[in-house]
Structure 1
Amino acid sequence: MIPAIEEKETQTLATLISEYVAYNEWANKRLVDWLASKPAALMTLELPSSFPGMKGTLVHIWDCQRFWLAVLRHTTIPASFRQGFDGTLDDVLTGIIEQSEEFTRYVASLTDAELQEEVLFTTPWIDGIQPRMHFIMHCMNHSTYHRGQIITMGHTIGLTDAPMSDYSFYRLIG
């Protein structure tokens, strides 16, 4: 016999996108907690990937989330870490969590209409107009992609105990 399904709150675009951004924050926190439990020297090992090492990849995630949040808010784009980042590992771990929390708060404040609002963007790569929700999903997907790279880099150096961070797992326990 199948248990009765509880009546749940109706999902709207705003609740769905907000939940996905909260998932990104949760997954980033799990990754950061895992990495913080490992020897710091491993974070700066040069490993083959999109960016040199786990710290460099974390900096990239943080940098991109900062960039896209500024685009979404129509605020000045922060100076990119591409010009160099001389902060510590703790700076990166703290920064990515604080930025993820800021992104979550911002998206939670948006209505369905604001999520669908067209946003003009200018980047070094491409210019255009898209609904705000598309930028949000792009940024969250981008962070997920690079979290996977970090876990793969960890595997190459023997760190095989990465925490589960799949969206469905978050939905079940989050």
Structure 2
Amino acid sequence: MKDLLQQYAAFNIWASQQIIQVILALPEEKQNQEVPSSFNSLARTLLHMWDAESIWWQRMKLQERILRPSDQYTGQIADAASGLLAQSVLWEDWVSKASALQLEHVFQYQTFDKAQFKQPTWQMLLHVFNHGTYHRGQLVNMLRQLGVSRIPATDFALWSRGKK
């Protein structure tokens, strides 16, 4: 289990870096242009991805008051991208040091609508990494809608072949 989670954590960083490079090369107006999607711009989608990784980190750390990075965010898209990647590195580092007991540990958390849940840490980690994959797929579609044609592949299989 730990090896798989370590691979997903590393893949999550690599795949995000691939997409972020393309986004940051665009003019600011394209980065913020409204596009039909869950979060309707590249910038808002990256910010949501950062929020999600940060929220789960805080839940895992049993913080009582969960803060979304977007609540204090006033920067440029590069700042959101840096924040997301820094949070992803925290996940990778944590997973690399986690014991089997820590990965199996069931923790309790509360959602923003006050619902209470218990979940093993390893399941939450799979959710975090899968969530990133989902939204990177949205970013790819948004980039295409914005006329970008050179978009790198970010498949797990591609990453797996490249790490050998």
TM-score (norm: length of structure 2):
0.92
1:165 is matched with which residue: 140, 154, 158? Answer: 154
User: Residues 15-38 of structure 1: CA distance to partner in whole angstroms, max 9, x if unpaired?
Assistant: 111111111011111111121222
Q: Which runs of 5+ in 2 are unaligned?
A: none
Give the whole-Å Cα distance in 2 for the aligned partners of 1:147 and 1:104. Answer: 18
Counterpart position of 1:4: none
1:140 is matched with which residue: 112, 129, 133? Answer: 129
Please list, as runs of the form range in 1=range in 2, the aligned pairs for 1:9-20 lying within 5 A after superposition.
13-20=1-8
Give the whole-Å Cα distance in 2 for the aligned partners of 1:158 and 1:77. Answer: 41
Please list, as runs of the form range in 1=range in 2, the aligned pairs for 1:13-162 lying within 5 A after superposition.
13-81=1-69, 83=71, 85-125=73-113, 126-162=115-151
Give the whole-Å Cα distance in 2 for the aligned partners of 1:77 and 1:154. Answer: 35
Percent of aligned pairs sharing the same letter: 25
Would you say the 8 A contact 1:46–1:53 is kept in 2?
Answer: yes
Would you say the 8 A contact 2:47–2:70 is kept in 1?
Answer: no
Would you say the 8 A contact 2:54–2:69 is kept in 1?
Answer: no
Q: Which runs of 5+ in 1 are unaligned?
A: 1-12
The alpha-carbon deviation at position 76 of structure 1 amounts to: 4.6
Counterpart position of 1:7: none
Would you say the 8 A contact 2:50–2:69 is kept in 1?
Answer: no
Distance 1:166 1:80, change over 3 A: same
Task: State the AA in 2 paired with 1:147.
Answer: R
Give the whole-Å Cα distance in 1 for the aligned partners of 2:86 and 2:68. Answer: 17
Q: Which has the larger radius of gyration?
A: 1
> Secondary structure of 1:52's match?
coil
> Secondary structure of 1:96's match?
helix
Task: State the AA in 2 paired with 1:152.
Answer: N
Distance 1:77 1:67, change over 3 A: farther
> Secondary structure of 1:23's match?
helix
Would you say the 8 A contact 2:23–2:42 is kept in 1?
Answer: no
Would you say the 8 A contact 1:28–1:100 is kept in 2?
Answer: no
